[in-house]
Chains A and B, each alone.
Chain A
Amino acid sequence: MLLFAARRLMLAVLVALTVSVICFFLLHLSGDLAQALAGSSSSASDVEAVRKAYGLDRPIIVQYLGWASRVLTGDLGQSYFFKEPVAKLIAERLPVTMVLGVCALVFAVALALPLGVVAALRPNSWIDRTALTISVLGQALPSFWFALMLIIVFGLTLRWLPISGSGTWQHLVLPSIALGYYATPAIMRLTRAGMIEVLASDYIRTARAKGLRAPSVLFKHALRNAVIPVVALAAVQFGFMLGGSIVIETVFALHGIGYLAWESIARADFPIVQAIVLILASVYVVLTFLADILNAFLDPRLRVG
């Protein structure tokens, strides 16, 4: 188990490192940063001055090493626009995104888990078919459009909920739904498949034969085992949600790191963009690492390889 964990940890670190290299080079190779910073109407000498001022005239390897070593000490650089440390700006906004992600995940699980269980109890019934239809429709729904339609229906027409900004819990309801629905199909399908498999297993028959009551069999014996892979999937989905929050935060004007990233891209404020990409990738790497460890802890067969 320890060996397995150590190998996975090494892989995770290596992935994070590679992501940082790719992001850094991608940003530097896909366009002229100095030109983007100086603006399109600037003269050639202005561009050169900007290039010198931000150290963009040094060899790219030197730039990367300088950036990476500073990142390791927790220094994410200075924002070009705010003239403040990137780490401070992100620390201010990160809680909003995290709360949004957790709320969205809670919504997704609260919707998907019961649907998956009910669908598994009566495969091919009308409930199962309805659940399947919901998941197929959900996967085709563009999240930004769904968010706008939620705003139109619940914010503008019914006036039940606020449509932008943050502050109260009501502000989080629509964004959480708009962000969370996308994860429901995957969670629901996995719950359903897991439950169907577990319900057909011998120990469930034994539990039933012992005369245990149906709810006890269902929740204590079946769901507990079926839910294991779902936990791992939910962790991965949470990582995707943080990445997807850029769209939702922009629609709802929620001041999290997604909105900050979008603003910074528009302002050519690349230290912030790089830092956010790196943070989101790291969160994803940590979550998949934990999910792997959890799975291997619960199922020793996975520890090989």
Chain B
Amino acid sequence: MTLSTALAEAEARIAEPSPGALLRRRIFGHGGFLFGAIVVGLVLATALLAPLLAPHDPYAQDLTRRVVNPIWHADGTWRNPLGTDQLGRDYLSRLIYGARISLLIGVATMAISGAIGSALGVAAGYFGGRVDMAITFLITTRLAMPVVLVALAVVALAGGSLKVVILVLGFLLWDRFAVVTRSATMQVRNLDYIDAARAAGCSDLRVLASEILPNILNPLIVVATLEMAHAILLEAALSFLGLGVQPPLPSWGLMISEAKEYMFFSPWLIAVPGAALFLLVLAVNLLGDGVRDIAAPENRN
């Protein structure tokens, strides 16, 4: 090796950024991730600080001031910036409190379905054979069931409430978790460090918890965000159909449903909560896509 190539190599090594700097560069160079993180952060802050941010009580009715126009109409006032709904409740306050419901549904459903799905998926991928066959069959069966219809029927029987909706969605949406963790586990199952852990005398449970799980965390996080978005959309659809979260809770889907009759003269009653829903779901999806690109940039197409 000549001196000049050695020097060039050393220089290249010095110029190479540290892993932390590389990560920061990737995060801030990824527009979708940044947008998603900011919007999700804002919605989260809105949900947590709802009592401070909301100008009025979201449940306080004022039948003398029904369907008041929002601020961008000529007769809108700052008293109700987004106007009022059919019962005279302040629309902005309901929108702000609605963020709590959407986020709660998203996170709680994701936790339940994530626990079920990844337990099944990891078991199928790790043990293989008959276990894998049985679990693959379960996944196939679950995929064949029409989610919206089954969820509607069960909610109708069990009674619509936040808790029931979360449980029903949690027990229905685990399929993608199972599919993804299954294939991710299969990829790492035969790697050397798994054999090493087993040779060192680790039990199956120990191998699963401390060797497999940390190594499939990336795809797991990506599915978790996508499924959270899915759950938020489904809750809104169920509530819209009248078989989800019940009035007077300010679910965004329910707000759209209640505004249907006023569609012709007050379309903003539908446009506003729908736009909020769209923005939140878009942000959660972008966050998930961003995590995938940042964690594994070599897979980026």
Q: Please list the residues of chain A having a beta carbon within 8 angstroms of any beta carbon in chain B.
A: 11, 14-16, 18-19, 22-23, 26-27, 30-31, 33, 36, 136-137, 139-145, 148-149, 151-152, 156, 193, 196, 242-244, 246-247, 250, 261-262, 265-266, 268, 270, 273, 276-277, 280-281, 284-285, 288
The residue from A30, A143, A247 contacting B157, defined by CB atoms under 8 A apart: A30
A265: chain B residues within 8 A (beta carbon): 152-153, 156, 243
A284 to B253, CA, bound (A): 27
B23 at the binding interface (Cβ < 8 Å): no
Interface of B is mostly: helix
A244: chain B residues within 8 A (beta carbon): 148
B229 at the binding interface (Cβ < 8 Å): yes
A19: chain B residues within 8 A (beta carbon): 141, 144-145
B240 touches A144 (CB 8 A): yes
A196 to B30, CA, bound (A): 23
A243 touches B149 (CB 8 A): yes
A22 to B145, CA, bound (A): 9
B263 touches A31 (CB 8 A): no
Known: A265-B156, A281-B144. A140 touches B285 (CB 8 A): yes
The total of chain B residues at the interface (CB under 8 A) is 44
Known: A262-B241, A277-B153. A142 touches B278 (CB 8 A): yes
How many inter-chain residue pairs (CB < 8 Å) link A and B? 133
- Which residue of chain B has the shortest Cβ distance to A31 in the bound complex? B157
B141 touches A15 (CB 8 A): yes
Min distance, Cβ B231 to any Cβ of chain A, angstroms: 12
Known: A145-B274, A276-B149. A16 touches B256 (CB 8 A): no
A262 to B240, CA, bound (A): 12
A120 to B32, CA, bound (A): 21
B236: chain A residues within 8 A (beta carbon): 142, 144-145
Q: Which of B178-186, B195-203, B264-272 contacts A (4 or more CB under 8 A)?
A: B264-272
- Which residue of chain B has the shortest Cβ distance to A182 in the bound complex? B233
Min distance, Cβ B176 to any Cβ of chain A, angstroms: 13
A33 to B145, CA, bound (A): 21
A143 to B238, CA, bound (A): 12
Could you give 21 example pairs across A and B, Cβ below 8 Å?
A11-B140, A15-B141, A23-B145, A26-B150, A26-B154, A36-B157, A139-B285, A142-B236, A144-B237, A144-B253, A145-B236, A145-B274, A149-B274, A152-B263, A156-B263, A243-B146, A262-B241, A266-B156, A277-B145, A277-B153, A281-B146
A43 to B160, CA, bound (A): 23
A152 to B275, CA, bound (A): 14
Known: A243-B147, A247-B148. A137 touches B241 (CB 8 A): no
Known: A30-B157, A142-B236, A142-B274. A22 touches B141 (CB 8 A): yes
A22: chain B residues within 8 A (beta carbon): 141, 145
B241 touches A285 (CB 8 A): no
Min distance, Cβ B260 to any Cβ of chain A, angstroms: 7
B301: chain A residues within 8 A (beta carbon): 193, 196
